[in-house]
Amino acid sequence: MPRVILCILDSFGIGAAPDAADYGDAGSDTLGHIAANYQISLPNLDALGLGAAARLATGNVPRGLTDQPKGGRYGVGREVSKGKDTPSGHWEIAGVPVPFEWGYFPLTEPTFPPDLIAQLIERSGIPGILGDRHASGTTIIAELGEESIRTGKPICYTSADSVFQIAAHETHFGLERLYKLCETAFELTAPLRIGRVIARPFVGENANDFKRTGNRRDFAIAPPEPTLLDRAKAAGRQVYALGKISDIYAGHGVTHKIKATGNMALFDRTLEAMEMAADGAFIMVNFVDFDQDYGHRRDVPGYAKALEAFDNRVPELIAALRPDDLVVFTSDHGNDPTWRGTDHTREQTPILAFSPALSPGTIGIRPTFADIGESIAHWLGLPPGPHGKSFL
């Protein structure tokens, strides 16, 4: 019985979506702009059709890539869900487009409703909060981390995404205390349709050495209907959720949860999951570094080098496939490191599918990310869902 490995390169967009102007992102192109500013080499993803997919998306082949795929199916994904958030992209990839508008916090300072913060302080017993604005996580921790340690006040901030983030020191504030605080914040923000509350623990003693740790935890609204993960689990299949996948789906449909910090560690865990996974298993992994370490920080060389490091390991994954296994590489949104601001960009995404049992060719431009989930369901022998159409 075949297995499927779904690798989501978080934020790896390949050109502005048709509705990008509605989000202020017309002209964004994560891959294209990285390639224009860095002599990138991605021979393995290119052989699977990355350059050809970029040409479908934008009409151009990025510098350093080709339009000569050597195997597998390649194409472009376009999102129908509103917004450019992590849950929207992931849920739609798993066959469930988001049917509602997320709630967002305004670009004011302070940004959070006063009554929300008052309830958070009262219910959690904290002495107050710091931040209360839109910010980059690493920047605001460097700015306010010392004061947070000194006063015991956590740092609360948001972004253009539907998110409420809380940063606090792992030991001075306490990791479990931070998680409890985020649970309270999640209860308070749920009526506002805020997609996620994220715990952002950090260590270090001053602005020069503060560092976020791998103990991040996302408290997320559950998908509005069963996703591919739920359908696979209900059919008795193993569902391996690696990285932040389980958090994004609020734990729904997951049979095996595996955490790791860093893209290379996540790649190692993916290979280990492939060794353990039974026939008919579904393995889903999010490679978050592209987004949180390089996209949001507008680090072009860092993003490029991370892509090259990932590309170098693709042959290991291909070699580990069984004859009827399928691997799919895609993304959930863009995060152009050359773009203004520090937020996600509304982009098209690559879809690269490979199996020793799959004939090569193009799948064209897919009108919804849900086509990915339905293609995986088809490969796994699961009944089709209500959204999307298989390209296999």
One-letter-per-residue 3-state SS of 14-80: CCECCCHHHHCCCCCCHHHHHHHHCCCCCHHHHHCCHHHHHHHHHCCCCCCCCCCCCCCEEEEECCC
Q: Give the span between the Cα atoms of 59 and 47, in whole angstroms.
A: 18
Residues 6+ apart with CB under 8 A from 372: 6, 77, 93, 328, 330, 351, 366, 388
3 state DSSP class of 327: strand
Q: Within a 13 Å sphere around the CA of 235, how many CA atoms are in the beta-carbon half? A: 20
Angstrom distance (rounded) from CA 150 to CA 10 = 35
Which residue blocks in the chain are alpha helix, DSSP H?
30-37, 43-47, 50-58, 86-93, 114-124, 137-151, 175-189, 228-234, 245-248, 263-276, 289, 300-320, 370-380
Closest to 227 measured CA to CA, from 376, 385, 367, 77: 385
Specify the pLDDT at position 75: 98
pLDDT value for 214: 86
In sequence order, what are the beta bridge partners of 341? none
Q: Quote the CA–CA distance of 242 and 276 in Å, as a whole number.
A: 13
Q: Which pLDDT score is estimated for 159? A: 87
Query: Tell me, what's the pLDDT at 100?
Result: 87
Torsion of CA 212, 216, 219, 225, to 10 degrees: 120
pLDDT of residue 101: 86
Quote the pLDDT of residue 112. 98
> What is the distance between the alpha carbons of residues 356 and 214, in angstroms, rounded to a whole number?
35
- Per-residue pLDDT, 313: 98
Q: What is the pTM of this model?
A: 0.91
Query: What radius of gyration do the chain's Cα atoms show?
Result: 20
pLDDT at 291: 95
Residues with Cβ within 8 Å of 373's Cβ and at least 6 positions away in sequence, in order, are 92, 93, 94, 95, 96, 227, 228, 385, 387, 388
Give the model's pLDDT for residue 338.
98
Q: Please name the residues in contact with 272: beta carbons below 8 A apart, sequence gap of 6 or more.
A: none
SS3 221: coil
pLDDT at 334: 98
Q: Structure tokens of 349?
A: 């995404």
pLDDT at 181: 98
DSSP label at 347? B
Interatomic CA distance for residues 117 and 120, integer angstroms: 5
Instruction: State the pLDDT at residue 83.
Output: 85
Which stretch of DSSP H or E encloses residue 286?
strand 282-287
d(CA 210, CA 187): 29
Bridge partners, 6 (sequence order): 284, 328
Contacts of 28 (CB under 8 A, 6+ apart): 13, 15, 16, 20, 334, 336, 339, 345, 346, 347
Per-residue pLDDT of the chain (392 residues; tens, 9 = 90+): 999 999 999 999 999 999 999 999 999 999 999 999 999 999 999 999 999 999 999 999 999 999 999 999 999 999 999 889 899 999 999 999 998 889 999 999 999 999 999 999 999 999 999 999 999 888 999 999 999 999 999 999 998 789 999 999 999 999 999 999 999 999 999 999 999 999 999 999 999 999 999 899 999 999 999 999 999 999 999 999 999 999 999 999 999 999 998 999 999 999 999 999 999 999 999 999 999 899 999 999 999 999 999 999 999 999 999 999 999 999 999 999 999 988 899 999 999 999 999 999 999 999 999 999 999 999 999 999 999 999 99
pLDDT for the residue numbered 281:
98
Per-residue tokens: 260: 């790791």
Query: At residue 254, what is the residue type?
Result: V
Handedness of CA 376, 379, 384, 387 (dihedral sign): positive
In the chain the domains, ranked by start, together with CATH numbers, are 4-100+224-380 (3.40.720.10), 114-220 (3.30.70.1250)
